Amino acid sequence: MYVFSLQRFARSPDPVSPRLAITGTALRQGGVLSLHYRVAGDIGGLDVPGPRQPGRRRHELWRHSCFECFIGQKTAAEYWEVNLAPNGDWNVYHFDGYRTGMVEETALRRLPCAFHAGRNEVRVGMEVDLSPIIREEQTLELGICAVLEHRHGEVSYWALRHRGAGADFHHRSGFELTL
């Protein structure tokens, strides 16, 4: 199991946004990737809608609060983007290369997830069955990230590490975790 801590992308100090920390775990067992995120701190300043049943496959989830994972294979240009909104809506996309050839990954038909909101934390978990798209013996390179929408309208971007002048979850230099 890998324990992670996400870093917020910021060009300069931000005195307005709530103080938050995003931590979690990543575990690959057989063909299943389990990701668990914990957002702690001043969560009252976030716009994080609770779950509704059932969550649906939807586009553009990253425009609001969304927990994400980018999955690549060590020697291939192609990669997948997994999006999970706290309300249970989700999607998975396949890319041929850096931001090119984006299509919905239809081999994955569901994304089991869990959501819990407490007074000072939000917990989100997902189970991604990779067996339809990636062989179990393939080494994975992961970029774990999140987008948080704040009640005052701002959106913040979180990742294992930010490289470059902007928040770019698609750049392979951000796929830092190897499983």
What are the tens digits of pLDDT across the range 80-92? 999 999 999 999 9
For residue 90, give Cα distances in angstroms to 12, 95, 113.
Answer: 31, 17, 9
**DSSP characters over 66-128:** EEEEEEEETT-S-EEEEEE-TTS-EEEEEESBTTBS-EE-TT-----EEEEE-SSEEEEEEEE
pLDDT at 105: 97
Report the C-alpha gap between 29 and 66 in whole angstroms: 24
* Answer CATH for 2-10+22-37+47-178 from 3.40.47.10, 3.30.300.90, 3.90.1150.10, 2.60.40.1190: 2.60.40.1190
Q: Is the pTM of this model over 0.85?
A: yes
pLDDT at 79: 98
Specify whether the CB–CB gap between 111 and 90 falls below 8 A. yes
In angstroms, the first-to-last Cα distance of the chain is 9
Q: How confident is the model at residue 10 (pLDDT cuts 50, 70, 90)?
A: confident
Q: How confident is the model at residue 16 (pLDDT cuts 50, 70, 90)?
A: low
- Give CB contacts under 8 A, 24+ apart, made by 102-105: 104/57, 105/80, 105/133
Averaged pLDDT, 57-74 = 95
Residue 12 has pLDDT above 70, yes or no: no
CA-angle at 142, arms to 136 and 144, nearest 5°: 135
Question: Which amino acid is present at 45?
Answer: G
Q: How confident is the model at residue 18 (pLDDT cuts 50, 70, 90)?
A: low
Specify whether the CB–CB gap between 6 and 22 falls below 8 A. yes
Domain boundaries, the chain: 2-10+22-37+47-178
What are the tens digits of pLDDT across the range 136-172? 999 999 999 999 998 888 889 999 988 778 889 999 9
Averaged pLDDT, 55-83 = 95
Classify 99 in phi/psi space as left (phi over 0), alpha (psi -120 to 50) or beta.
left
Strand pairing report for 79-84 and 32-41? unpaired
